[in-house]
Homo-oligomer: A and B are copies of this chain.
Amino acid sequence: MSRIMEEVLSANNRYVEAFGEKGTLALPPKRQFAILTCMDARIDPAKMAGLSEGDAHVIRNAGGRASDDAIRSLVISYKLLGTKEWFVVHHSDCGMLLFDDEVMRGLLSKSLETAKITPRGWEDVGKGPGSDEGRYINFLSFHHLEDSVTEDVRRIRRHPLVPGRIPIYGFTYDVKTGKLVEVAEAMKAGKAV
């Protein structure tokens, strides 16, 4: 067993011991909202937004992007489980600001080891073989934080399976301060209609 798995299971044991009443929580989110945000390790959505277990759906991927899969999740979230408001949260210093598809595909074609970022950009210090499969993935990186929030709010707003009654809020999160700030353009794009 790896050290990480030991640590995870031992932390889990402590959580189980103090689990208490949480075992009786119902499936639908009690506070009837959902948050879509980045997988970034520095983000703890429960702490950032004041969630207790049972409160809200949390969807996370690289960038917090409104991918088809995020939309699949949001549709299940409102249609079967009754969420009524959605937050899209991207953040400062996001890894998605540091590359684009061409760079990523190039790195993957050289090796499947972890690349290093240098002042000259990403460098693949690993050995091959790599894989050209990166060509078939849109990595959904972005170049402007607020714009990516607005784009994603707009994409969700326009999806034919998303009801107009659901407001979609767009926020940035500052990893230096922990602060959520609403994006003005996204506010217009995400209004209930």
Residues of chain A touching chain B, judged by Cβ–Cβ distance below 8 Å, are: 2, 4-5, 7-12, 14-16, 19, 22-23, 25, 27-34, 39-44, 46-51, 53-62, 67-73, 75-82, 85, 87, 93, 95-96, 98-99, 104, 107-108, 112-115, 117, 122, 131, 133-134, 137-140, 159-163, 167, 169, 175-180
> Do residues B80 and A10 form an inter-chain contact, with CB atoms below 8 A?
no
Q: Which residues of chain B are within 8 angstroms of A99 by Cβ–Cβ distance?
A: 80
Q: A16-B179, A41-B57 are in contact. List 15 more A-B contacts (CB 8 A).
A: A2-B85, A7-B31, A11-B49, A16-B178, A23-B177, A25-B175, A27-B93, A59-B62, A67-B72, A68-B137, A69-B70, A71-B137, A75-B134, A108-B161, A134-B161
* Chain B residues with CB below 8 A from A7, complex form: 31, 50
Number of identical protomers: 2
Bound-state CA distance A122–B107 (Å) is 47
- Residue with the highest number of chain B CB atoms closer than 10 Å, among A8, A131, A133, A179: A8
What are 13 A-B pairs with beta-carbon distances under 8 A? Answer: A8-B50, A12-B49, A12-B50, A16-B177, A19-B177, A41-B53, A46-B46, A67-B69, A79-B112, A80-B115, A80-B122, A112-B163, A134-B161
CB of A11 within 8 A of CB of B50, answer yes
